A and B are shown apart, each in its own frame.
Chain A
Amino acid sequence: MKIKLKIWRQKNAKTKGIFVNYSLDDVSPEMSFLEMLDALNTKLIEEGGDPVAFDHDCREGICGCCSLYINGHPHGPGEKTTTCELHIRSFKDGETIVIEPWRAKSFPVIKDLIVDRNAFDKIIAAGGFISVGTGSASEANSILAKKEHADEAFDSASCIGCGACVAACKNASAMLFVSAKISQLALLPQGKVEAMERVEAMVAKMDELGFGNCTNTYACEAECPKGIKITNIARMNRHFIGAKIGSQIKQ
């Protein structure tokens, strides 16, 4: 199979980037998308050029490292698929594939297709945890959780922190990511104690880091590779309003 590529190249955060065209004449439909980029890089290196930098690690859809905005979609075509799970068989012979980095103010480009997603860690550090010191946990089965709540918490917890939701959103909002963590913890009895403080702290941090507002376009849900549901955002908003009222009453 032949494919044409139009790839965003940017030396570093300080320089401007441009699209560069490449073509590969001998790709196999069996290749994964990242293996296709490996093949391109091999070619570039052998020709004395500079390989394209892109983030990747597990290559099995679980670490959240890979990103790439492919033909206008974060993680490319295909539902609930990360870039590393995407295969060339999803593209047509002769097709031009446009590859860009995530574009969001809070995710600055580091090089080529690699962006800095550190802002997510900062949001988690603001409150995305249960304050339990090592050693002070009680017997696991002394905390009972309804199976359906545990299952729902699991669904929210399966977010891989890739940032596709932010890249998909015209406002670059991080609401889906943040609400997934908030929901996971709020759905479990052990997370309920701090639920109000958590939502306030995480939302404040998210705003501080420059992520945009949610205007309910649902683009995040459509592009999320892990099927994180928009209902998480509604749940978070309920908690947030609850927390705000709560803190006003306290004052």
Chain B
Amino acid sequence: MAKLNAKIPEGPLPEKWSRYKSSMKLVNPANKKKLDIILVGTGLAGASAASSLGDLGYNVKVFCFQDTPRRAHSVAAQGGINAAKNYKNDGDSVYRLFYDMIKGGDYRAREANVYRAAEVSNATIDQLTAQGVPFAREYGGTLDNRSFGGVQVSRTFYAKGQTGQQCLLGAYSGLSRQVKEGTVKMFSRCEMLDLVIVDGKARGIITRNLVTGEIERHSGHAVVLATGGYGTIYYLSTLAVNSNASAAWAAYKKGAFWGNPSFVQIHPSSIPVLNDYQSKLTLMSESLRNDGRVWVPKKKGDKRPANDIPEEERDYYLERRYPAFGNLVPRDVGSRAAKERCDAGYGVGDTGLSVYLDFKDAINKQGKKAIENKYGNLFEMYEKITGINPYEEPMRIYPAGHYTMGGLWVDYELMTTIPGLFAIGESNFSDHGANRLGASSLMQCAGDGNFIIPNTIGNYLADEIKTPKIPTDTPEFDEAEKAVKLKIEKLLSVNGKQTVTSFHKRLGKILWDYSGMTRNEEGLKKGLVLIDELEKEFWKDVKVPGTADELNQELEKAGRVADFFELAKLMITDGLIRRESCGAHFREESQTETGEAKRDDENFSYVSVWEYKGKDKPPELHKEELNYEYVEVKVRDYK
């Protein structure tokens, strides 16, 4: 049985989406009122979907674990959101945006989905603007753009360094409007712990009310996950500390396949690890590299303060290695280059694990005021955290776990392998291949939520109009609830000595060392063993205080970390079978003579898609072959 069907519509690439829309099934307005949709997540993807699905007239129940939908981690996106408006008349087009994403993703994403993401990007900017998002403007009153992430056109819309916050608040206002209309019912501080499947279809979820601890059942005709990324699997990352993979992982264990788990973007510029207590890494936006120059001392272990190191003793290694792109190389390339210098002993700071990002030349040339106008809030943020003034001393930066390209496998309709279960935004694997280009995630999230899922879910629900409300007093719900309660009891009953966080930190360290910026067979295998041992230790010695029927933050963390162990093993398993380097996945065995990533299209031009086979059984690999009809597959070269 061929289990993977991407359902890519027929026809030429630019026409696929319009053809799909003109032939999809529709649900009439009277029937929409009778259909319930469960939507988990209120980030830019989820909030946009809530707003749009509510607007169409569906009954939508929306969940998030924060105290309000407006705090989803989309709020932290800094740099911007892409669209192919071509307002700058610099030759941009839907095709070029599509092409940049395919190339940026190192030819490991599905053409049809990426093209559509680019295609709906313009409508997204219209929608967000109409919702009152205060994007930056020119003096004439039109919207401004900037360039971002090593592409050759200016297509990034932004709101200072707080684009994610502003886009999310726009979507949240749309969601709120539907709350008023009565189409959306919001459940905050409510965490999905399991998915319920009835007769092979996704029909509901089991949640824990994080205030009372109550385990609750919710049913719907379809379930949409918009649960975001899980870079927190590395413990330290640029994500919010509570971001996690548990909802998607529950779906995986119920039969939804997982795509490309080993593809994780390590962002090159975050404030480095400063001490052992650190709980999170703060991103310093990619846009800084438009003006900042990256360097390390030419001499190994040079401990002089940065400003005492003369010009000729500095190694601007990105400019040296990549003269064409210089400091603007894509993220994966920038991260590996920093690691290479630090591993070779040239890193700076107490730990030797950081490099300089220097604005001296830019300040001399453009003046302090100009730099402040562009990056003021980032400079302030840096100073608050480190106590160092970056106008006077170069910033210190180091790569950090940032974005998970992998996620639930979805077809063209953004439906997982479980009928009626959809995944949107960062929680799916869809649009970024092996490496994501800057400002393209917000674009994808808003596009998925506003313009794609409202259509594709209708095509599914059109066959459900005769299905009455899904009852929750059925054996399927009983069973799922029982399993959830059992896991909670198990976590509480270990009563060992070590905190959840201490395990999380150790897991993060193993993953970072063996499945981080570079990987090799031996290390991956070792990582797998170490994680397995750590997981066993966790279940023997973790200490989760308190009870199940109260607000219990340690219990919340424990459940998430327990899932991270399992996901971490899948990440490594995937890294092991992919014996090539592509995008963020750098296998040391597969590199060119100059140390660049070497893809192996002959053997690995596929999405690796994993099926859960049960506890203690190895997952099964399926392959979605990638066929490039509209782009020529080339070597990514930034020299």
Task: List residues of chain A with CB under 8 Å of any chain B CB.
Answer: 11-12, 28, 30-32, 34-35, 38-39, 42, 45-46, 48-51, 53, 55-65, 81, 85, 87, 89, 110-111, 114, 116-118, 120-121, 124-141, 143-147, 150-151, 153-154, 157-158, 160-161, 184-185, 188, 190-191
Contacts and interface: CB of A to CB of B under 8 A. Distances in A.
B132 A62 contact: no
Contact of A140 (B48, B51, B143, B387): B143
B76 A63 contact: yes
Contacts of A145: 137, 141
Nearest to A65: B71
Given A118-B188, A126-B180, A154-B160, A144 B142 contact: yes
A63 B71 contact: yes
B136 to A, nearest CB: 7
Contacts of A110: 211, 551
Contacts of A51: 545, 553-554
A50 B546 contact: yes
A30 B134 CA distance: 35
A45 B186 CA distance: 33
Contacts of A151: 134, 137
A28 B142 CA distance: 49
B75 A63 contact: yes
8 contacts: A38-B277, A59-B241, A65-B71, A111-B551, A131-B177, A134-B174, A157-B134, A190-B130
Interface residues of B, number: 78
A30 B127 contact: no
B180 A121 contact: no
A12 B85 CA distance: 52
A57 B66 contact: yes
Contact of B132 (A57, A124, A191): A191
A129 B553 contact: no
Interface stretch (B165-173, B214-222, B314-322): B165-173
Contacts of A111: 211, 550-551
- Identify the 5 closest CB pairs spanning chains A and B, nearest first: A144-B141, A137-B130, A129-B173, A134-B52, A154-B134
A223 B305 CA distance: 36
Interface stretch (B278-286, B527-535, B627-635): B278-286
A117 to B, nearest CB: 6
Contacts of B141: 144-147
B143 A141 contact: yes
B277 A35 contact: yes
B162 A158 contact: yes
Contacts of A63: 66, 71, 73, 75-76, 240
Given A140-B129, A161-B68, A60 B499 contact: no
B375 interface: no
B134 A56 contact: no
A214 to B, nearest CB: 23
Given A51-B553, A134-B454, A141-B85, 12 more contacts: A38-B277, A56-B242, A62-B76, A65-B71, A87-B387, A114-B551, A124-B172, A125-B179, A129-B131, A138-B130, A145-B141, A158-B162
B279 A137 contact: no
Contacts of B123: 135, 137
Contacts of B545: 45, 48-51
Contacts of B278: 35
Contacts of A143: 129-130
Contacts of B2: none
A118 B66 CA distance: 11
Interface of B: 48, 51-52, 55, 66-71, 73, 75-76, 85, 87, 123, 125-127, 129-132, 134-143, 159-160, 162, 165-166, 169, 172-174, 176-177, 179-180, 186, 188, 211, 240-242, 274-275, 277-280, 282-283, 381, 384-385, 387, 450-451, 454, 497, 499, 501-502, 543, 545-546, 550-551, 553-554
A246 to B, nearest CB: 21
B540 to A, nearest CB: 16
B387 A58 contact: no
Given A35-B278, A51-B545, A157 B143 contact: no
Contacts of A135: 123, 127, 451
Contacts of A116: 67
Contacts of A147: 137-139, 141
Nearest to B502: A42
B60 to A, nearest CB: 13
A128 B66 contact: no
Contacts of B497: 46
A146 to B, nearest CB: 6
Nearest to B553: A53
A134 B127 contact: yes
A38 B138 CA distance: 45
Given A134-B450, A137-B126, A141-B143, A64 B70 contact: yes
B191 to A, nearest CB: 13
A151 B280 CA distance: 30
A57 B71 contact: yes
B279 A38 contact: yes
Contacts of A53: 551, 553
Given A63-B71, A137-B129, A57 B176 contact: no
Contacts of B142: 141, 144
B279 A130 contact: no
B55 A128 contact: no
Contacts of B68: 117-118, 120-121, 161
A235 B547 CA distance: 48
A129 B550 contact: no
A161 B384 CA distance: 21
B387 A89 contact: yes
A35 B279 contact: yes
Contacts of B280: 59-60
A11 B165 CA distance: 33
B538 to A, nearest CB: 15
Given A57-B242, A85-B385, A134-B454, A129 B174 contact: yes
A39 B277 CA distance: 8
B550 A12 contact: yes
Nearest to A158: B162
Contacts of B188: 118, 121
Contacts of B127: 132, 134-135, 137
